């Protein structure tokens, strides 16, 4: 008798050892048709695995995340099989699942996207054949013999310990693989090859250069279509493309990975910082500033010289070694230690928008998302242990207010003590319980990542969600038990004794450059009025009205708005169209009628035109919209 326990606690008994497929069929034929694999006592295995002992079982279906990953892993095998049909001399290496798809590294002649239809046609034949995917266990010596003409597989097998090795077979194709896989190739209802790039075997430039072919796969064609539509929309929103078109920022060979912000980009930048400062003042923060370059002794004391040196830039001044700061924290420690503190001073909330530099490899640089020079909106909160929950809760509420202003949702993750860490058990317990208590009091669901904290303390990661439902890790709240020790930070307690403060590191924007790029894509370049680089474009109906248009602009600017006049000798329709393409929220056309009546004709990005609007009504609505930092485009409703 084999007893199978399901996740909901129900138990089902079988007279003889069942396979995962048998278990699924015993529940319903519909479930069996949608099952792709099995979680057996916490381990993913093939659906045809025989269950020979009492076990906890979860059936993996086409609706589960693991099911999609297994499908894509199998699709990588199908692609490799198709490539071998097209190119007999190709040599296979590895084909893992990655975010949104899979790839396979193959030693073969140059491949371009023009070759994809031929490979995809072979893949369709393999899928249509519904080839069973079967696992076969062999000894290491058998595996070496089987792959005697496959140098990359031989190398991988040689690195494995002696024992059984699993191979997966589908028709005329066999691959070295741990599995699991879908029952047959027919489960792959929709797939597409996406791109190809070069890759070195085992990321070693001294080894062979391979062709890395990327693809994606889904259980339903509808899902693939939705994904491809998403990619098209994301392409339109690409911040590098929009940043250039809207003249917000640029990159230059003279400073790789270090963005240049243009005047229009700085208007957005300053709006972000103005909002940041306003919210932080209201939340009881003071703003500080520390030098960009500090002596080596400071970085040795902080631990960065030993643990982070390869990511830092250096200089020598007066025969002393200096480093350009990769983080703001050590300078903040010096500020705290400038004078003695009492428990009455705490909490101290000190924020700094500091420019930091980190040496990133050129291959990972990616627009504003991955740069070498960026600004962090750091803040360090120094407090007593009793203040942990209240301060964490205050940070979470501040984050919620600020992200909400941009229309960004978010979710929270708590990362706990890793295997390699510093500090006592008591310190970690206090810190972790403080974060948990704050999260529980905040009342928003959160995920726990066991063992994923920083070596110096647990942390809360905040993942924001943009208009395309993509998530970005921006905000963090970290409890640090290392730097207060290293810098001997103290305060005088109620009894006159010296005590060690608890310290929080936290960012909200994170890298302001990266947050800027996220907002470009989130708003697709159509920034809310309060952020827009040019808020009002004034268009004179003819050249005689240019002086009057300049007068209107002066009045607008006197109200604190950013405005410009388009005085080019172009048709009005062309000027309107270009202003709309530049996503200027308010377009004012001024003619003889407006000049005589003292009114405005206002066009908004939704195409609506409001004629004869008084200046009082216009400025009243606009000021209210900006003052409240509204993100909607309905300014005059």
User: Is-contact 618 590, C-beta < 8 A?
Assistant: no
Give me the phi and psi of 608, to 5 degrees please.
-75, 140
Tell me, what's the pLDDT at 244? Answer: 95
User: Could you confirm whether 463 is annotated as catalytic?
Assistant: no
Tell me, what's the pLDDT at 631? Answer: 85
Look up the CATH superfamily of 536-627: Anticodon-binding domain (3.40.50.800)
Thinking of the domain 249-291+325-522, which architecture would CATH place it in? 2-Layer Sandwich (3.30)
- In 28-177, which residue ranges form alpha helices assigned H by DSSP? 29-34, 65-86, 116-128, 140-146, 151-159
Q: Which of 136, 135, 180, 176 is nearest to 157 (CA)?
A: 176
Tell me, what's the pLDDT at 480? Answer: 84
As a whole number of angstroms, the distance between CA 68 and CA 76 comes to 12
Q: Once rounded to an integer, what is the mean pLDDT over residues 119-138?
A: 97
User: Is-contact 566 525, C-beta < 8 A?
Assistant: no
Tell me, what's the pLDDT at 257? Answer: 94
Q: Which of 505, 514, 522, 625 is catalytic?
A: 505
Q: Which of 81, 170, 376, 427 is catalytic?
A: 376
Q: Which of 358, 417, 514, 553 is catalytic?
A: 358
Q: CA dihedral defined by 267, 270, 276, 278, rounded to 10 degrees?
A: -100
As a whole number of angstroms, the distance between CA 195 and CA 214 comes to 5
pLDDT surpassing 90 at residue 515 = yes
Tell me, what's the pLDDT at 364? Answer: 85
pLDDT surpassing 80 at residue 421 = no
Strand pairing of 101-107 and 97-98? antiparallel
pTM: 0.82
Q: Give the pLDDT band of residue 280 (cuts 50, 70, 90).
A: very high
User: Could you confirm whether 577 is annotated as catalytic?
Assistant: no
Three-class secondary structure of residue 56 per DSSP:
strand
CA count, 13 A, side-chain hemisphere, 560: 12
Stated as kind and residue range, the H or E segment containing 321 is strand 320-324
Stated as kind and residue range, the H or E segment containing 361 is none
User: Could you confirm whether 237 is annotated as catalytic?
Assistant: no
| Least confident interval from 172-186, 453-467, 484-498 | 453-467
Q: Which fold has domain 66-221?
A: 3.30.980
User: Could you confirm whether 241 is annotated as catalytic?
Assistant: no
Tell me, what's the pLDDT at 453? Answer: 84
Q: Which of 46, 175, 378, 466 is catalytic?
A: 378
Give me the phi and psi of 313, to 5 degrees please.
-110, 150
Q: Once rounded to an integer, what is the mean pLDDT over residues 435-463?
A: 89
Higher-pLDDT residue of 154 and 633 is 154
Q: Which of 608, 457, 477, 602 is nearest to 536 (CA)?
A: 602
Q: Which of 380, 514, 575, 625 is catalytic?
A: 380
User: Could you confirm whether 329 is annotated as catalytic?
Assistant: yes
Q: Once rounded to an integer, what is the mean pLDDT over residues 518-524?
A: 95
Q: Which of 58, 329, 341, 461 is catalytic?
A: 329
What is the share, in percent, of the chain residues with pLDDT greater than 90? Answer: 85
User: Could you confirm whether 459 is annotated as catalytic?
Assistant: yes
Spans of all domains in the chain: 2-61, 66-221, 249-291+325-522, 536-627
Look up the CATH superfamily of 2-61: Beta-grasp domain (3.10.20.30)
Q: Give the pLDDT band of residue 205 (cuts 50, 70, 90).
A: confident
pLDDT surpassing 90 at residue 635 = no
User: Could you confirm whether 358 is annotated as catalytic?
Assistant: yes
**Mean pLDDT over the full length of the chain:** 93
């Amino acid at each position: 008798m084999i007893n199978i326990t399901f996740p909901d606690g129900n138990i089902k008994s079988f007279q003889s050892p069942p396979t995962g497929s048998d278990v699924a069929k015993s529940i319903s034929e519909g479930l069996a048709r949608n099952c792709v694999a099995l979680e057996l006592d916490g381990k993913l295995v093939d659906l045809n695995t025989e269950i020979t002992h009492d076990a906890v079982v979860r059936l993996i279906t086409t609706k589960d995340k693991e099911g999609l990953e297994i499908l894509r892993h199998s699709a990588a095998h199908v692609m490799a099989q198709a490539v071998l049909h097209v190119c007999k001399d190709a040599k296979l290496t590895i084909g893992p699942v990655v975010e949104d798809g899979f790839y396979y590294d193959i030693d073969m002649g140059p491949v371009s996207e023009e070759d994809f239809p031929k490979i995809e046609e072979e893949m369709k034949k393999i899928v249509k054949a519904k080839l069973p995917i079967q696992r076969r266990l062999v000894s290491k010596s058998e595996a070496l013999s089987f792959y005697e003409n496959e140098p990359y597989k031989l190398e991988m097998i040689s690195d494995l310990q002696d024992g059984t090795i699993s191979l997966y077979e589908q028709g005329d194709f066999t691959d070295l693989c741990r599995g699991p896989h879908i029952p047959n190739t027919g489960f792959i209802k929709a797939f597409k090859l996406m791109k190809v790039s070069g890759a070195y075997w085992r990321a070693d430039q001294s080894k062979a250069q391979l062709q890395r072919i990327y693809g994606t796969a889904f259980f339903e064609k509808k899902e693939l279509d939705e994904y491809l539509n998403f990619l098209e929309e994301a392409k339109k929103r690409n911040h590098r493309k929009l940043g250039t078109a809207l003249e917000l920022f640029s990159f230059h060979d003279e400073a790789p990975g270090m963005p240049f912000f243009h005047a229009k980009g700085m208007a957005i930048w300053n709006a972000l910082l103005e909002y940041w400062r306003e919210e932080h003042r209201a939340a009881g923060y003071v703003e500080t500033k520390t030098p960009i370059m500090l002596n080596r002794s400071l970085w040795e004391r902080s631990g960065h010289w030993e643990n982070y040196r390869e990511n830092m830039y250096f200089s020598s001044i007066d025969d002393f070694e200096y480093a350009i700061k990769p983080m703001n924290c050590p300078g903040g420690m010096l500020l705290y230690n400038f004078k003695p503190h009492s428990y009455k001073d705490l909490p101290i909330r000190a924020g700094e928008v500091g420019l930091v530099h980190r040496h990133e490899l050129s291959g990972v640089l990616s627009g504003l998302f991955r740069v070498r020079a960026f600004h962090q909106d750091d803040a360090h909160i120094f407090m007593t242990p009793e203040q942990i929950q209240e301060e964490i809760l205050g940070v979470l509420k501040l984050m919620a207010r600020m992200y909400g202003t941009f229309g960004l949702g978010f979710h929270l993750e708590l990362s706990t003590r890793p295997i390699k860490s510093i500090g006592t058990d008591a310190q970690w317990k206090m810190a972790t319980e403080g974060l948990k208590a704050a999260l529980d009091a905040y009342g928003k669901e959160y995920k726990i990542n066991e063992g994923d904290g920083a070596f110096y303390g647990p942390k809360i990661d905040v993942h924001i969600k943009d208009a395309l439902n993509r998530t970005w890790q921006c905000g963090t709240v970290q409890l640090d038990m290392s730097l207060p020790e290293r810098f001997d930070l103290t305060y005088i307690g109620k009894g006159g004794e010296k005590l060690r403060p608890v310290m929080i590191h936290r960012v909200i924007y994170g890298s302001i450059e990266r947050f800027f790029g996220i907002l470009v894509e989130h708003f697709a370049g159509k920034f809310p009025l309060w952020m827009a680089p040019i808020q009002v474009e004034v268009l004179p109906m003819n050249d005689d009205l240019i002086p009057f248009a300049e007068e209107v602009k002066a009045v607008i600017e006197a109200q604190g708005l950013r405005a410009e006049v388009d005085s080019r000798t172009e048709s009005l329709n062309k000027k309107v169209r270009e202003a709309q393409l530049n996503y200027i929220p308010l377009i004012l056309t001024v003619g003889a009628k407006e000049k005589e009546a003292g009114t405005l004709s206002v066009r908004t990005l939704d195409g609506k035109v409001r004629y004869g609007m008084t200046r009082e009504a216009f400025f009243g609505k606009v000021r209210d919209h900006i003052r409240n930092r509204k993100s909607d485009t309905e300014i005059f409703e």
